[in-house]
Amino acid sequence: MISALVMGIYILIIIIIAVFYRKWAESVESYIVAKRAQSPWWNGLALTATFTSAWGILGGPAICYTYGIVDFVSFIAWGAGVFLFIWYYVPKIRELGAKYGAVGLASFMELHYGKRYVGVIIGILSWYALLLYVVGQTKAIGIIFSQATGLDYATSVVLGKVIALIYLILAGLKAVIVVDVLMAFMMIAIWTTCLYLLFALGGGNILNTVQIMNSFDPKLLHPPGPPYASEPISLWTLGFITFFMWQFLPHTWQNYLALRSTKRTDIAIFAAIGPLSGALASWALMLGAAARVFLPYEVVPDVVMPEVFKYFLPSLFPLLLVGAFSATMSTADSSILAASTDLYHAFKGVIKPLEKRIGTVNVVRLIMLITAILLCYFAIFYMPEFMVYVMILGGLGFACALTGSTAIGIMWGKRDPLAAVASTILSLAISQILAVFWNVQWLVACFIGLVLSATIYIIIAIIRAH
């Protein structure tokens, strides 16, 4: 009952924010890239919320409860990737994006390479990859919302999407940024509580907690091998590189394009705040591993965080639900906006009559509605294992396939549209085939896709230049 009440108040605040910012839907520039005038503080907090899904509050601790703190790799290596990416790439993306008038990944690529077919292909692929990625988030929203309100899963999935659609449709990116900042603070509250518990479990001294964990099982803090069937050192190396590419995923391009300037002071603030959720989520992960020692009973890994809160801090359990809901929602909202913008861009020639009749912003809104309906359908009717599987490949696989066309094509003087499209499609297809039919470990498959994408781009660009 209290959980439902807290969730209700929280949702009401989100809707009030959306209504307040509804005037930001007056033009495409304002609706999709928030007038390219967002401060690095707000944008950084929104970005850090967008990057973290429920994995940072529920999934990651579950892995650490089972295998020790091995999943630190996912967050710290990724955070390091965010910092490097923001410092080296964001100024270039922001500068070129403003020059081109780009509003997302697909339109940026089309204008950067000067060929319509690049925008069409990248737009469709981007929508497809994000759809697969956001299905997992949609399922998580349904599960958390259902736990908080007591409603059945299907209704919870639909209600969760309706809430996201309300602020997305009303005010676009501006509402997403403001709501995501609110959500970032909710997540920070959860992670700070986790750190407090880590200290409290050792009688106020975290070194005691570490010592107790070490005496119970040394593998908890020094895991011999991660659950991804790989050595920690190789996972760090692969993770470090592949997670750098993760930042090229379309759902965060709006944040890069919306930054108010490319001044190095702004970029420094953006770079410091952007990866923060990676650092803070490690507190929840460490608590997940500590639960193996300090919880007096064994639990199913997936519910370790709810159980820890119920056992040690029952009064804060509603906060955990709101935090987990925020984590999933902040990823899903940006992804729906980015996917819909890219799909609109891919088909903007075909839907011109409709665009003339109802306006560009309404066309994007319509695509968002259709995307959300599809997401609800997949989240309710598909098998969970399949969801997790395609979510991983759909996100990181696509990011790695973009290596040639983004990481190299943006910085290198040789801009070749054919190389951009061929490197993306071929490397995506090969990495998915490797993972699905040859059972190659998913992270290795993504890494092979990354190397292939870069190689194909360079070879085609050099051959065609001569």
What does the binding site for other proteins look like in residue numbers (CB under 8 A)? 69, 72-73, 76-77, 79-80, 83-84, 87-88, 195, 198, 210, 221-223, 232-233, 236, 240, 261, 263-265, 267-269, 271-273, 275-276, 278-280, 282-283, 286
Residue among 90 and 148 whose Cβ is closer to other proteins: 90
CA 52/CA 298 separation, integer angstroms: 27
Residue among 74 and 147 whose Cβ is closer to other proteins: 74
Residue among 1 and 207 whose Cβ is closer to other proteins: 207
Between helix 105-113 and helix 90-100 the angle, nearest 10°, is 70
Residue among 248 and 325 whose Cβ is closer to other proteins: 248
Is residue 244 within 8 Å of 23, Cβ to Cβ? no
* Two tokens, residue 329: 């929602």
Residue among 84 and 295 whose Cβ is closer to other proteins: 84
Sign of CA pseudo-dihedral 399, 45, 301, 233: positive
In whole angstroms, how far apart are CA 444 and each of 196, 231, 396? 36, 12, 11
Q: How far apart are CB 282 and other proteins at their closest, in Å?
A: 5
Q: How far apart are CB 325 and other proteins at their closest, in Å?
A: 24
Residue among 250 and 275 whose Cβ is closer to other proteins: 275
CA 359/CA 354 separation, integer angstroms: 8
In whole angstroms, how far apart are CA 223 and each of 30, 219, 297, 388? 48, 5, 22, 24
* Two tokens, residue 25: 């839907």
Q: How far apart are CB 205 and other proteins at their closest, in Å?
A: 14
Residue among 227 and 232 whose Cβ is closer to other proteins: 232
Is residue 334 within 8 Å of 251, Cβ to Cβ? yes
* Two tokens, residue 368: 């968002």
Q: How far apart are CB 20 and other proteins at their closest, in Å?
A: 30
CA 364/CA 404 separation, integer angstroms: 28
